[in-house]
A and B are shown apart, each in its own frame.
Chain A
Amino acid sequence: DSGVTQTPKHLITATGQRVTLRCSPRSGDLSVYWYQQSLDQGLQFLIQYYNGEERAKGNILERFSAQQFPDLHSELNLSSLELGDSALYFCASSPGGLAEAFFGQGTRLTVV
C-alpha cells in the first residue's frame, strides 16, 4: 500500500459527460501529480500541484482541469468526455523537491 488513495477505482460514463477523480496523497506530502495511461501506453504527465498551487503542466487537454485543496487532496475534472479519454488515471504524491513519488492504484475510466 503506497498510502495514496484514489477514488473511484472504476468509472463508466457516457460521451459528453463530466466526471471528477479524487486523490488523497500520503500524509505530509505536498506535491500531487496526475498521469494518464492509455491501453498499453506509457504514463503521460498531465499536471502537478504543490501545496495548493499549480506547479507544472504537461499534455493536459483544455477539457480537463485539476485543483488541490487546503487539506492537500486533489481532484481531476474531465468534461465533454470522448471515447478516447478512456484510460487509467493515476495520481502520485511526494513530499516535494527531490524525492520519490508514490502512486495510487489508479482510476479506470471507461467512456461509452
Chain B
Amino acid sequence: GENVEQHPSTLSVQEGDSAVIKCTYSDSASNYFPWYKQELGKGPQLIIDIRSNVGEKKDQRIAVTLNKTAKHFSLHITETQPEDSAVYFCAAYNNNDMRFGAGTRLTVKP
C-alpha cells in the first residue's frame, strides 16, 4: 500500500518568514494530494490540494508543488502569521485509499 513520509516533524519560524513542509510518497499511482491543518481540539481541515496533472497550485499565502517523477510534494506558507500555528498533514490518495503523513507541528513566533 501507499506510504507517505513527512518532514520535518516540528518547525518553528518567526512571524513573516516562510515555512516549507515536504512529503514523499511511494505509490506512483497516487493522483491526488491534499494538505490538512489541524488546530488543537479540532478535526483536520483541508487547506489546499493538488491533482497529479498539475505541478503547482497557489491560494493566497499557501502554495503546493508536486514532482511526480520524484514522488514528492511540498507545502509552502509565505508571510506566516501566529494563527498559522497548527499541525499540518499531507496525504496521498490512490484508488479510494488516502494515507497521511505523520504531521508537522508548525509554530509561528510573534
Contact = CB atoms under 8 A, between A and B. Distances in A.
Q: Do A and B bind each other?
A: yes
- Please report whether the interface of chain B is mostly helix, strand, loop or mixed according to DSSP: strand
Interface residues of A, number: 27
A106 interface: yes
A50 B43 contact: no
A86 to B, nearest CB: 16
Contact of A56 (B43, B44, B96): B96
B40 to A, nearest CB: 11
Contact of B46 (A56, A102, A104): A102
Interface in B25-74: 31-32, 34, 36, 42-46, 49, 51
Interface of A: 2, 4, 31, 33, 35, 41-43, 45, 48, 50, 55-56, 58, 90, 92, 96-106
